[in-house]
Amino acid sequence: MNFDYPTTVRFRCIKCGICCGDTKEKNRHILLLRREAEQISKATSQPTSKFAVKIEGRAPYRYEMKKTEDGKCMFLGNNRCTIYSVRPLICRFYPFELSSYSGKYRFLYTEECPGINSGQVLGEAYFRRMFRLARAKHRPTTDSSGES
Ligand code: SF4
Ligand code: SF4
């Protein structure tokens, strides 16, 4: 697997909930793949339109999660994710993201997250697992729409 990752960064989630909504500095876009929206819809027995809006021009993402009036993801409850087992990739990755440039993949991270620089160094196995997860999630679907 061909990717670079931050070899010295330490991280431990302190469950502050910052990544689940807007902050003074950031209007957060919680983007969803079509299959993620479908999974959440199934798990919550709600139509996709209840919790997400369709978006254009952000492929491979097809939806953006709706937020409450106070700018939080509508699935955040008591500072916890209420759809944890089907939360989108973007949430699983945070505070990291995978960028690609000239055929090379690289994990970046944001220091917005207060869990950065606490906990342990994550190491290659952690990033390899995330890389595999991203590849599996972005695998093309076999339906005729070609959406993923
Ligand atoms: S901002 Fe960082 S520490 Fe806070 S909940 Fe999100 S991942 Fe965890
Ligand atoms: S889906 Fe869960 S983890 Fe993702 S932003 Fe919403 S509450 Fe947070």
- Cα–Cα distance measured from residue 137 to residue 68, given in angstroms and rounded to the nearest whole number: 27
Res 140: pLDDT: 65
Which tokens sit at 101?
A: 């440039």
Q: What is the pLDDT of residue 2?
A: 84
- Rounded to an integer, the average pLDDT of 105-119 is 95
Instruction: State mean pLDDT over 3-28.
Output: 95
Looking at the CA of residue 20, tell me the nearest atom of ligand 1: 6
Q: Is the CB of 133 under 6 A from ligand 2?
A: no
| Closest ligand to residue 71's CA | 2
Pair type for strands 10-11 and 120-121: antiparallel
List the residue whose alpha carbon is closest to atom 4 of ligand 2.
91
